[in-house]
Each structure stands twice: as structure tokens, then as C-alpha cells.
Amino acid sequence: MNYIDPHIHMISRTTDDYQRMAYAGCAAISEPAFWAGFDRRTAEGFRDYFVHLTHVEPKRAAQFHIRHYSWLCINAKEAENVSLSREVIAMIPEFLKSPYVLGIGEIGLNKNTANEATVFQEHLDLAAKTNELILIHTPHLEDKYKGTRMIVDMLKNDRRVQPHRVCVDHVEEHTVRLALDNGFWCGMTLYPTTKCTPARAVDILEMVGTDRIMVNSAGDWGKSDPLSVPELIQEMKRRGHPEAAIKKVVYDNPLEFWRQSNNWREWPTQ
Ligand SMILES: [Zn+2]
């Protein structure tokens, strides 16, 4: 079955990973801007990164007939530096016309600090002014519920935000309803240990249904598996879920969300 991985950091992965993903049926991916494995000292460091996301990775993916899209922002981890964040936010519009940029992301909170919240709201302002889709990172483990609550409150406080044009990512059992009940899309991250295992993600799908929900590997520098979406497909098959329901989660839903992007150009889909 063909699938889409809507959240994976290919800058941290090898070309062999692209090849294995292609063999497993990966048709397209999107790569949110995030922490690149080290703190960047200048806005120019981010410019190099944005060029990499918008030019280098699409070419690397195309060798394996995988479509590569990206999202731009300064991530929550580096957003603690507000003046640097403002320089980066000011630079983003020049990249938004790149044909494979889907929107602003992954913005959010890391340690739920006041500086992170300020930078998050300034990204919302940029997204509103440029009419971009928004992809949201929610914090890990013990910070997750509080951080997700703070994020949903900030989204609701900005009347320009249209919930159906926002995806709240890394949801788990205790945050999935916060996202869905407020009209947002949501993503579940399949990690081998922390976040959701494929089995937990299928449990959640059985609880909340398959509307406005997608899954991703969030493959990155840490212990993660770029083939975890195919693993979820196997788990859904094992439990007897119909093919159409599986395809909706791993293919149709991310595509439906992406299609709202300003730069979207249709391609032959299955
Ligand atoms: Zn990420």
C-alpha cells in the first residue's frame, strides 16, 4: 500500500533510508523545520537550513520518486532566543513561494516558557498575514498536556486562526481530544519507545475514528524508525481494519490537509 509520512526530518537520515522508504511504498513526505542537531548562532545559519529543506532534500527524495515538501519556522527549542527568532521569522517570507513549502511549522512549545509562547504567537501572526497552513509540535512526556492546553488556548485566542488549516502533532491518548474537539487536524508520532508505538496509535484510532487524523514517524536524530508508518499499516491489517480505513489514515488524510496549502499542485494519486 502506498503511504505518506507527513512528518520526518530527512536531514538527519541517510540516502539508504529514502531507498528503504521507497521500497515500502512511500509516495510523499513532509519535513518540518526543527532543531538541526545543534543550536544555530545566527539567522544566516537558518537561511542555509531553509535552502537545504527547499532545494537539497526535494532532489535527494526525487531520486527515489518520493515527493518532498517542507515547513518553515524557528523551532521551540531555539525559540528561547527571542531576538534571533525575530530575525528568522522576518526571513521566512522569502522562502514561502518555494513550490514545495506547505506552510509554517513545526512551531510550538518545548519547555512551555514565556519566550517560547511569545515566539509561537509571532509565528501565528506570520501565518495569518501570509495565509499559510500551520503545523504544531507539542511537548514531550510530562510537559505534553500542559503545553498542548497552552497551545490550543493561544490558537483559540487568535481569531484569524482557522482550525481546519492547523495540524496539532505528537498527540497521545490524553491530548488527542483537545485537538480534534477544537476542530484541528492531528498527527500521531510513531516512536519505538516514547510517544506512540504503532499498537498504541491503532488503539487511539479505534477510540476516536479516522477523521482529521494522520500518523508519522518523525524520524530524526534520536532513536526513531523511518519505516514506522508501514508498521502501523501492518498492525491495522492484523486487527482486521478495512483497506479503505487504513488508506484514509496513511494517505488520504495527509493529502487532504496539504491540499489546502497555497503552493499546492496536484499530482497523480492513488
Ligand atoms: Zn519534528
Q: What is the pLDDT of residues 73-118, one digit of tens each?
A: 999 999 999 999 999 999 999 999 999 999 999 999 998 999 999 9
Going by pLDDT thresholds of 50, 70 and 90, the confidence category of residue 196 is confident
The yes-or-no verdict on residue 181 having pLDDT over 90 is yes
What is the 240 CA–ligand 1 centroid distance (Å)? 30
Class of domain 3-258: alpha beta
Amino acid at 49: Y
What is the 167 CA–ligand 1 centroid distance (Å)? 13
What is the 105 CA–ligand 1 centroid distance (Å)? 9
What pLDDT score does 38 carry? Answer: 85
What is the 217 CA–ligand 1 centroid distance (Å)? 9
The β-bridge partners of 26 are 3
Going by pLDDT thresholds of 50, 70 and 90, the confidence category of residue 268 is confident
pLDDT in tens, 202-238: 999 999 999 999 999 999 888 899 999 999 999 999 9
What is the 241 CA–ligand 1 centroid distance (Å)? 28
Q: What is the pTM of this model?
A: 0.96
pLDDT in tens, 31-51: 999 988 889 999 999 999 999
Please state, in angstroms and rounded to a whole number, the distance separating the CA atoms of residues 36 and 15.
17
- Tell the residue number behind the cell numbers 516558557, with chain if given: 113
The yes-or-no verdict on residue 150 having pLDDT over 80 is yes
Cβ contact 215:229 at 8 Å: yes
What is the 197 CA–ligand 1 centroid distance (Å)? 16
